[in-house]
């Protein structure tokens, strides 16, 4: 026959095992490992990857623009005139509407 201390330790182990099992079961069904939560995370990953791709394309466009500006001073002057409305000394800005 099993003595009282062994029964108590077996009961404690059994209760611990049940708590651990139910905790993991909860995580799988309703918690962080649930299929709905995993689907949300996969959607978020997809959106973030799409954003990364868009930003990489924008970076490539900017790199091409920077390369064209560093090669030609006229390109920089043209951009300053077109986007900022800057003029050289002695010139007058004329705007057409």
Token code pair at residue 2: 């099993």
Q: Which residues of the chain have pLDDT under 70?
A: 1-2, 69-72
pLDDT digits (tens, 9 = 90+) for 35-55: 778 888 899 999 999 999 999
The per-residue pLDDT for 86 is: 77
Q: How far apart are CA 29 and CA 35, in angstroms?
A: 8
Q: Where are the domains positioned within the chain?
A: 1-32, 34-86
Q: How far apart are CA 20 and CA 26, in angstroms?
A: 10
Q: How far apart are CA 97 and CA 75, in angstroms?
A: 25
The per-residue pLDDT for 71 is: 61
């Amino acid at each position: 026959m099993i003595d009282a201390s062994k029964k108590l330790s077996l009961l404690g182990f059994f209760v611990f095992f049940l708590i651990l099992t139910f905790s993991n079961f909860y995580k799988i069904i309703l918690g962080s490992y649930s299929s709905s939560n995993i689907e949300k995370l996969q959607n978020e990953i997809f959106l973030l990857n799409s954003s990364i791709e868009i930003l990489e394309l924008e970076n490539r466009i900017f790199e091409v623009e920077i390369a064209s500006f560093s090669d030609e001073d006229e390109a920089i002057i043209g951009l300053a005139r077109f986007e900022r409305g800057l003029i050289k000394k002695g010139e007058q800005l004329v705007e057409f509407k």
